[in-house]
Amino acid sequence: MAQPNPVKVLDVCRVAPPPLSLDSTTPKSLPLTFFDMVLLKFPPTQRLYFYETSHPTTTFLEVVVPKLKHSLSLTLQHYVPLAGNVTWTPDYSKLIIKYVEGDAVSLTVAESAVDFYSLSGDNFREAQNFNPFLPCLVGSETRVPALALQVTLFPNVGFSIGYAVHHGVLDGKATTMFMHSWAFICTRGEDSTLMPELTPLYDRTMIVDPSDLETTYSNLWLGKDGPGNKNLALLDMKAPPDAMLGTFLLTQGNIENLKMWVQFQWEQKQLEKPSFYLSSFAITTAYTCVIVDADSDELIGEDGVATAAKAIGEAIERLKDGVLEGKRDLIAKYKAIPLGRLFSIAGSPHFDLYKTDFGWGRPRKVETTSIAKTEAFSLSDSRDGNSWVEIGIILSKHESEAFASVFASGLHKTSTHA
């Protein structure tokens, strides 16, 4: 039996940048680069920011929403392509992000009686419960929007801001930069001058493509469903029906203990001291991967984290040979990996998601909800500012019941050793 929608839509509007002056330096059209091509048809990145406030519905609609709309419009004058669409050039030879007069960002305003604190907690929650609070990118086969937004009020408790962004237009850094810019302008009213670190750079000539990877990637996508396919529709990936989303923290102390534990395991196996730097990223990724999927012989046992950390560290070290090395076959390599064996990471602790303050304080919680579809895990800074990293994990219901215990026991073991 279908469940009633827990969200009541109050308004669906379109927010455009202010009329552009003739001497505007913000481009209306941008070519997609080979970096963008890799993610051309990937599902949109979706994230939810939860803010704890005490606004009743009337105040929210008369004060908060107009302020968010106005500041969004002012922000879009710096990010004009985000009000546009991914499409083809007229001769269908190139993919571009194009803004034309009349284009705008879809903004849904809604209200919900769902338990705000349960939804924005750390415990495992059903991933599908987040869907009503997230916007969709509604496009066609030849035009797909770059961005859509939804603001949802939980009366007298808080509100959320959710976004869906085209991954071929924005990576994680650019998306969080846009959100910080929007928050910055929202807190300053009519002063829409951005700081240099929030001002986007549109110079595509800085990206050198000596091997013409753009054409290689474009042809790979075009051949996906047969020759001459120009369909730009995003892949329709679904989260498993029993997918659960949970959040776990690693403190700097946890990280240091894990590093010492890994180095101890390397010494026990009499391995040659690695030439690479054992970074916090390598340790975090290794520890998360082994707890999530320890069904490989090499990852089972006490030295599983050490084995994973070595492999990840060596892979990062190889980037010194050039980040484009081997990238011609990147998409083909992705396709060759069996389902359930590809681990990807969304976000970074350096994005400062919890510093996105629109004037009502720091977020209570930030969730990268799109990992439910891609089965990635997410990394971000922490809400309290003290922990080194906040990790978002997607597991099935039966796996989630055991995960918290395994995660904690592993940290206890390494701290005892340290």
21-46 confidence digits (pLDDT tens): 434 678 888 998 888 888 888 899 99
Asked if the domains 7-222 and 243-417 are classified in one and the same CATH topology, the answer is yes
Per-residue model confidence (pLDDT) at position 225: 47
> Residues 41-62, buried b or exposed e (16+ Cβ, 10 A)?
bbbbbbbbbbbbbebeeeebbe
Q: Which pairing describes strands 389-396 and 377-380: parallel, antiparallel, or unpaired?
A: antiparallel
Which pLDDT score, from 0 to 100, does residue 146 have? 96
CATH topology of domain 7-222: Chloramphenicol Acetyltransferase (3.30.559)
174/180 Cα distance (integer angstroms)? 10
Ranked by mean pLDDT, the top range of 4-13, 209-218, 267-276, 384-393 is 4-13
- Spatial separation of the C-alpha atoms in residues 13 and 106, rounded to whole Å: 6
HEC secondary structure over the chain:
CCCCCCEEEEEEEEECCCCCCCCCCCCCEEECCHHHHHCCCCCCEEEEEEEECCCCHHHHHHHHHHHHHHHHHHHHCCCHHHHCEEEECCCCCCEEEECCCCCCEEEEEEEECCCHHHHCCCCCEEHHHHHHHCCCCCCCCCCEECEEEEEEEECCCEEEEEEEECCCCCCHHHHHHHHHHHHHHHCCCCCCCCCHHHCCCCCHHHCCCCCCHHHHHHHHHHCCCCCCCCCCCCCCCCCCCCEEEEEEEECHHHHHHHHHHHHHHHHHCCCCCCCCCCCHHHHHHHHHHHHHCCCCHHHCCCCHHHHHHHHHHHHHHHHHHCCCCCHHHHHHHHHHCCCCCCCCEEECHHHCHHHCCCCCCCCCEEECCCHHHHCCEEEECCCCCCCCEEEEEEEEHHHHHHHHHHHHHHHHHHHHHC
Mean pLDDT of the chain: 86
- pLDDT at residue number 14: 97
More confident residue, 292 or 49: 49
Query: Is the model's pLDDT at 280 over the cut of 80?
Result: yes
- Per-residue tokens: 227: 């020759």
**Average pLDDT, integer, range 58-81:** 95
358-383 mean pLDDT: 93
For the ranges 101-115, 235-249, 251-265, 339-353, the maximum mean pLDDT occurs at 101-115
Q: What is the pLDDT of residues 10-23, one digit of tens each?
A: 999 999 998 864 34
Strand ranges across the sheet with 125-126: 125-126, 243-250, 389-396, 377-380, 345-347
Q: How far apart are the first and last CA of the chain?
A: 53
**Residue 338 — pLDDT band, cuts 50, 70, 90?**
low
* pLDDT value for 227: 47
Determine the pLDDT at residue 323.
63
Q: How many residues does the chain have?
A: 418
Distances (CA, A) of 41 to 113, 150, 153, 172: 34, 22, 31, 16
> Which residues belong to the active site?
167, 357
Domain locations along the chain? 7-222, 243-417
- CATH architecture of the domain covering 243-417: 2-Layer Sandwich (3.30)
CA distance 330 to 337: 11
Say if CB 232 and CB 142 are below 8 A apart: yes
- State if pTM tops 0.85: yes
